Amino acid sequence: MSHDCKVGFDTVRTLVVIDEAVGDFQSLVKVLLPLSKVMIIQPNYNEIEQITQTLNKCTQLKNLHIIANGSPGCLYFGKSNLSLFTLRSYASQLKSWTVTNILLYGCNVAAGNAGKEFIRRLYVLTSANIAASILNTDDTAKGVCLQLNYFLGEINFNLAILPLKLHTNLKTFQDW
């Protein structure tokens, strides 16, 4: 299932990838930046391959936003994960990601030594600037962190979620 905005792949500059396991992801789609291409990850079908195939269609892509549940050094997708321990198995795919910025909205992804090492290795593999969160799920809405507070590289980005819409829809996130 893919939610396609009114934008063709060849003109996409921002891709927002959402794991279907994120609670009430349909409400999240409503507050995303206009002109973003939205991709809902299909569970149980090589999730990293799905992202890679979509990225290969986007010739002008600059920003990749990934919204998924997380823990230190790990993003969860369906029944698989992208983690400090699985990066090596996805290395060839990750090296093909030609985006300028990768923003990871999973809670705790950059927390602790494991989180920082995960971000460092992802940075090396993709050559992209990385933003992620070191916050606990207690500080956020059910595993999705809307505050990115750990950066590697010269990142210049806009959050995937429109700030004004975020305030008006904050109740939705609090209800997850």
Does 95 score more than 90 pLDDT? Answer: yes
Count of positions (residues) in the chain: 176
Q: Determine what percent of the chain is predicted with pLDDT higher than 70.
A: 69
- In sequence order, the 6+-apart residues with CB closer than 8 A to the CB of 53 are none
Residue 106 has pLDDT above 80, yes or no: yes
User: Between residues 46 and 91, which one has the greater pLDDT?
Assistant: 91
Residue 51 and residue 41: Cα distance in Å, rounded?
Answer: 8
Which among 92, 79, 16, 89 is positioned nearest to 45, based on CA atoms? Answer: 79
What domains are there in the chain, each with its CATH number?
9-174 (3.40.50)
The Cα–Cα gap between 129 and 119 comes to 10
Q: Are 14 and 44 spatial neighbours (Cβ–Cβ below 8 Å)?
A: no
User: Span 127-148, mean pLDDT?
Assistant: 72
Cβ-based neighbour number of residue 167 at 10 Å: 10
CA dist., res. 166 & res. 72, Å (int)? 25
* Token couple for 167: 């305030």
Q: Using the 8-state DSSP alphabet, how is residue 45 labeled?
A: S
